[in-house]
Amino acid sequence: MDHESTASSRAQIRLFLCLKDNYGVLVHDPASGATAAIDAPEAAPVEAALTASGWKLSDILITHHHGDHTAGIGELKQRHRARVVAPRQEAAKIPDVDEKVAEGDTVTVGSLSARVIATPGHTLGQINYYFPAAKLLFAGDTLFSIGCGRVIEGTPEMMWQSLLKLRDLPDGTAMFCGHEYTDANIRFALTIEPDNPALAARAAEVKRQIAAGTPTIPTLMGEEKRANVFLRADDPAVATAVGLAGQPAAQVFAEVRARKNRF
C-alpha cells in the first residue's frame, strides 16, 4: 500500500447533532492535520467537536444551499480561516465560498481525496462528497438511511437518477447523511416492504441504537441497497406493492416519495 492510500484509509470521523436533527461531521486526516466540516448547520456544535478532538478546522465542504446546512459558515470561516467548498450551481446562494465544484471534480482534505458527485433533486445543485480510498460518502440531503430527501427543486426522475449514482458506490462505503430521520423512515418503509428481511434487520438494529442513545448513522451502502425502499424502485416487488407493476422505476420512485410525503 502506498503512503497516500494508507493515509486515506486512516481518516478519522466525529459525528454530532446540530439544530434539531441535523448531523455535523468532522473528517480528520492525521497525516496532515487537515480537518473538514461537512456542512455547517451551526457553529457552536462544530466548535465543541473541534475542542473535544483537538483538531484544527481547515476546510468546510458544503452539500447544498439550505440554511440548515450553511448557517454556521460565516462564523467558522472567520474564526478558523477555513476554505469553503460548495456546489458551483448554488454558489450564489451560499456565503463565503472559496472554491466552486461540480460533478467529477476532486476535493482534497490534506492527503484525503474526495470525488464530487452531482445529485440534483432535493436541490438542483446538490453535490455529495465521496472519498473512495477512505470509503466514505457524505450524502447531504440526497440519501438518508432508509430514506431520501424531499424532491423540492428537481423532479422525481432527476432524484431517482441521482440515487442510482449513489447505488453504484461499493457496498463497503460508509454513508453519512444530513439528518437523523432513520426511525421515521423505517416506519414508512415497512408500509411498502413489510416482508423485506434486510429492512426488518435494520429496524431491529435501529431500535437498539435509539435505546442506547447512539446515532443510527453511518450505514454501509450495501445495507442501504438491500433495505432502503428509495434505492429499490426498480425492484418488481416494490412496484407491485405500490400498484405500479411493470411501470418505469422513476414512476415507482415518484409514487413511493409521494406516499412518504403524506405519511
Known catalytic residues? 64, 66, 68-69, 122, 141, 179
Q: Which is nearer to Zn ion, 23 or 55 (CB)?
A: 23
Q: Which is nearer to Zn ion, 59 or 141 (CB)?
A: 141
Distance CA 239, CA 244 (A): 5
Of the candidates 12, 120, 8, the residue with the CA atom closest to the CA atom of residue 65: 120
Q: Which is nearer to Zn ion, 29 or 141 (CB)?
A: 141
The cell for 262 is 403524506
Residue with C-alpha cell 429496524? 203
The HSE-up count of residue 43 (CA atoms within 13 Å, CB side) is 11
- Name the phi and psi angles at 64, rounded to 5: -165, 175
**Count of residues near Zn ion by CB under 5 A:** 2
Q: Which is nearer to Zn ion, 117 or 192 (CB)?
A: 117
Would you count residue 141 as binding Zn ion (CB under 5 A)? yes
Report the 10 Å Cβ neighbour count for 226: 17
DSSP state of 153: S
- CA 233 to centroid of chain Cα atoms: 19
Which residue stretch of 30-38, 90-98, 136-144, 200-208 sits at the interface with Zn ion (rule: CB under 5 A)?
136-144
Q: Which is nearer to Zn ion, 141 or 255 (CB)?
A: 141
> CA of 52: how far to CAs of 3, 45, 46, 56, in Å?
28, 10, 10, 11
Give the nearest distance from C-beta 69 to Zn ion in angstroms.
6
Which residue stretch of 75-83, 96-104, 138-146, 222-230 sits at the interface with Zn ion (rule: CB under 5 A)?
138-146
* Contacts of Zn ion in 25-84 (CB under 5 A): 66
Distance CA 40, CA 73 (A): 6
The cell for 11 is 481518516
Give the nearest distance from C-beta 141 to Zn ion in angstroms.
4
* Contacts of Zn ion in 199-258 (CB under 5 A): none
Give the nearest distance from C-beta 63 to Zn ion in angstroms.
8
Give the nearest distance from C-beta 91 to Zn ion in angstroms.
16
Give the nearest distance from C-beta 66 to Zn ion in angstroms.
4
Q: Which residues make up the interface to Zn ion (CB under 5 A)?
A: 66, 141
